[in-house]
Amino acid sequence: MGGGFWTADYSNDDKYIEAISYAISKGINVIDTAEMYGGGHTEELVGKAVLNFQRDDVFIITKVWNNHLKYDDVIKSATNSLKRLNTKYIDLYLIHWPNPSVKLSETLAAMEELVDRGIVRCIGVSNFDLKLLKEAITLTRKYEIVADEIEYSIYNLSPERDIIPFAKKNGIEIIAYSPLGQGRITTENRLYDIAQKYGKTVVQIALAYLKKNAIPIPKSANKKHIDEIAEVLKFDLSDEDANEIRRRVSE
């Protein structure tokens, strides 16, 4: 929403602000953004959308891009994100992608400083594999890594082999991006009978499956689709059906 990678598009601002506000009103209160989305404009849209809600009722995640991971750059990026979001704090600040040319210890030291300053409440990572996640955990000094945002959907179950069991054991939240396979789910037939059993759509079943292990973050600016997503908050899949889904999509 609000543009492409590092490029802003202002043409649909009212539509996107309304969509985000509508989602919050439906109980979807975790909002994921990043400094590189729309060149920062996406953060501005989020900031405008949350104005009509109690700040503590909304959980805002944003991310620092991997060419801003040196100590001073992290501080600068977070400060700029906070201004664009027009809020008092960022709930969760993530390293968007790892960068092997910058010491992870330097980046994490800056992120811990952001918590000390009250700019950020929690810190985490994104696109970190198990090895990197373990390294990040060992390098923090004051605060814990609370989340890893990764690609996870019925089309990519690889996180279930290692990173999800580790995260569960260590109290780390997994945030699942591209949870609907970037739209592939709309033509998915393997979940149809399970969806019928629950009286739900295939989209809802796919999200309910992920909800057992992660916080899925689907994107939509369509109110009908937002209603569909919000319904997932109201039901859970049985373990038996989750196992059946896993079996089917793994074949």
Asked if 8 and 2 count as a contact pair (C-beta separation under 8 A), the reply is yes
Which residues form the catalytic set?
Answer: 37
Asked if 50 and 60 count as a contact pair (C-beta separation under 8 A), the reply is yes
| pLDDT mean over 52-56 | 94
What is the pLDDT at residue 251?
Answer: 81
Distinct helix (H) and strand (E) counts, the chain: 10, 7
What is the pLDDT at residue 247?
Answer: 96
| pLDDT mean over 47-67 | 97
Whole-prediction pTM value?
0.96
pLDDT classification of 199: cutoffs 50, 70, 90 = very high
Q: Give the pLDDT confidence of 167-187 residue by residue, as tens digits.
A: 999 999 999 999 999 999 989
Least confident of 114-118, 134-138, 181-185: 181-185
Q: What is the DSSP-derived secondary structure letter of residue 8?
A: B
Cite the beta strand spans of 51-196 per DSSP E: 59-64, 90-95, 120-126, 145-151, 173-177
Domains of the chain: 1-151 (3.20.20.100), 181-251 (no CATH)
Structure tokens at 39: 């060149």
DSSP-derived secondary structure for 149-165: EEE-BTTB-GGGTTHHH
